[in-house]
Amino acid sequence: MKVAVVGATGMVGNIMLRVLKERNFPVTELIPVASERSVGKSVNFNGADYTVVGLETAVSMQPDLAIFSAGGNTSLEWAPKFAAVGTTVVDNSSAWRMDPEKKLVVPEINGDLLTAEDKIIANPNCSTIQLVLALKPLHEKYAVKRVVVSTYQSITGTGVAATTQLENERNGTEGEMAYPYPIDKNCLPHCDVFMENGYTKEEMKLTKETKKILDPSINVTATAVRVPVVGGHSEAVNIEFESDFDLSTVRSLLHNQDGITLKDDPTTNIYPMPIYAEGKDDVFVGRIRRDESQANTLNMWIVSDNLRKGAATNAVQIAEILVKKGLLRTTLTA
């Protein structure tokens, strides 16, 4: 199988290569793709070196699968060009997520909806993935009515420039700023750009994507905060259901949900934290408790590595479903 990774030299691209190797994805030929300044560089994958190529070259090589992590503008321009030569694209940007003709996929929730006609498939926002995965079994049992989510998001969601800023601040070194303010010893209620309604794009992604993936009737309101953390995103989530719930059943449903690890024993200080989520593929859930201020309402805490399940792992899992269902060109013509 000929697999292109677009944005292979970036932070998420590197993790994608690692996840492809870890999960033994059937790559017979890797095509690492990056911007012109990286063309000609070498990328090591599974013990072999591959030369980075540009987008035009990659399209001409007609890969069976292209996993994109190169920004929305790149995806808007180039994903259709890959699709036109028969490549199936899994895109990690926000470019196609709300397109009504493109599927927005978390494999454990709606991967079964994929068909051979889906040539451009959208990977949800990192903070959305961990939220909807935890909501899924609860929504099926109790019907989620409204969600209030406050995020505590890793600087890795911004990229290398943000991690460099944090390191510079901690070392007392001057350097370029990824954020308008210091991030060390600080929290910025500012993820992505502000919109006319006063919310940021990140906050509205949580609202819109949850509706598209799970149920358009679910009301979601969000506050997204950037924190000086590397390991992953955390979310404090308040969920109002249509009906009452049993806490032991809630824990059982979450425990049995694929992709969820329950860490919920406050008597022994067991709860999810990004320091434990880093490098792992599961979504971790804990601090499960009834909201005593309102009927039919639950509080819980959700943590996940935003570069893995929030980006690279989810994209590779989508690709695995395409292989399993025989939806890629290589599989169809083998």
Instruction: State the DSSP H helix or E strand holding residue 32, giving kind and residue range, or none if neither.
Output: strand 29-33
Residue type, 179: Y
pLDDT, tens digit, 9 for 90 and up, residues 103-150? 999 999 999 999 999 999 999 999 999 999 999 999 999 999 999 999
Same-domain check for residues 154 and 185:
yes
**Which residues have CB under 8 Å from 59's CB, separation 6+?**
78, 81, 82, 85, 87
Average pLDDT over residues 295-301: 98
Same-domain check for residues 259 and 161:
yes
pLDDT, tens digit, 9 for 90 and up, residues 184-230? 999 999 999 999 999 999 999 999 999 999 999 999 999 999 999 99
Same-domain check for residues 49 and 86:
yes
β-strand partners of 151: 224, 235
Same-domain check for residues 36 and 140:
no
- The stretches of 27-159 forming alpha helices (DSSP H) are 55-60, 72-84, 107-110, 126-142
Same-domain check for residues 220 and 328:
no
* Domains held by the chain: number: 2
Same-domain check for residues 143 and 83:
no
- The whole-angstrom separation of Cα 183 and Cα 288 is 29
pLDDT, tens digit, 9 for 90 and up, residues 31-77? 999 999 999 999 999 999 999 999 999 999 999 999 999 999 999 99
Known active-site residue 126: yes
Same-domain check for residues 173 and 293:
yes
> What pLDDT, on a 0 to 100 scale, did the predictor assign at position 334?
46
Q: Which of 126, 190, 191, 255 is catalytic?
A: 126
Known active-site residue 233: yes
Q: Which of 139, 190, 233, 255 is catalytic?
A: 233
Q: What percent of the chain has pLDDT over 90?
A: 98
The CATH number of the domain where 233 resides is what?
Answer: 3.30.360.10
- Domain of residue 110 covers 2-123+311-333
329: pLDDT confidence band, cut at 50, 70 and 90? confident
Same-domain check for residues 161 and 299:
yes
For 231, phi then psi, to 5°, come to -70, -20
**Which residues have CB under 8 Å from 242's CB, separation 6+?**
142, 143, 144, 145, 296
Q: Centre a 10 Å sphere on the Cβ of residue 189 and count the other Cβ atoms it contains.
A: 12
Residue type, 185: K
Same-domain check for residues 37 and 70:
yes
- What is the maximum span of the chain, computed from C-alpha positions, in angstroms? 60
Same-domain check for residues 8 and 137:
no
- The whole-angstrom separation of Cα 62 and Cα 329 is 10
Question: What's the pTM value of the predicted model, to 2 decimals?
Answer: 0.97
The CATH number of the domain where 19 resides is what?
Answer: 3.40.50.720
Same-domain check for residues 135 and 255:
yes
